[in-house]
Structure 1
Amino acid sequence: YAGWQGIPCRIFNAGNYRRQVMGADQDASFFDPDNRAAADARERMAEMAAADLMAYIRKGGQIGIFDATNTVRARRDWVVDTFAQGLDLSRSRIVFLEMVCNDPKI
């Protein structure tokens, strides 16, 4: 909607970074929370997406969407801390949008 209204915005999807860097052929073990190496790789992809989002905002982008799995408190704290350190929060705001789908067919 914002882009349609002419507001400079961009989506930074951590999954896209993963597919670009590591390929699209990750099996289920890559997403296993007990797989520490994979968890570290996923974190690196999130860090890359966050860094690019902040660079985009600093260069005049007005809305940056950090699209990643931010479902646990520790991850949301990381998001807030990362963007608070990298952006002027007197001029920027962090908003969490939660999407819930209860359709069992999806």
Structure 2
Amino acid sequence: MILSHEYPFIIVLSIRIKELINVQLDESCTKHMQNMAVRMGLKFDKYCDECDLLLSLGAILDPRYKKKIIKFAYESMYPIDYESRIETVPRCFNDLYDQYEKIYGDEKKERS
């Protein structure tokens, strides 16, 4: 399993890819490059969105960083809507815990 605190390169790489896509959207680029950057940005968001959330769930478990690293990464990658994305992390974590408790909580009660 790849953890973001063991491999901070993953977060840096995601941020760098997003920055490169945004640079290609600059007005000084040709129309072809801008169109390609838009398509790349859509694919990046489509495929990496869930990975970002998964890495965030792992990072929030690290007592050294908690939400600090998530805030840093999301502010860098998604400057417009980073706050709403940050809010989804604890909500997803709670949903995950509720599912775990629903599945395995009954087994614990039966064993007692």
TM-score range, shorter chain: 0.3 to 0.5
Kindly indicate whether structure 1 or structure 2 has the higher relative contact order, using CA contacts under 8 Å at least 6 residues apart. Answer: 1
Alignment TM-score, normalising by the size of structure 1: 0.41
Q: Normalized per residue, which structure has more strand?
A: 1
> Which structure has more helix as a fraction of its residues?
2
TM-score by length of 2: 0.39
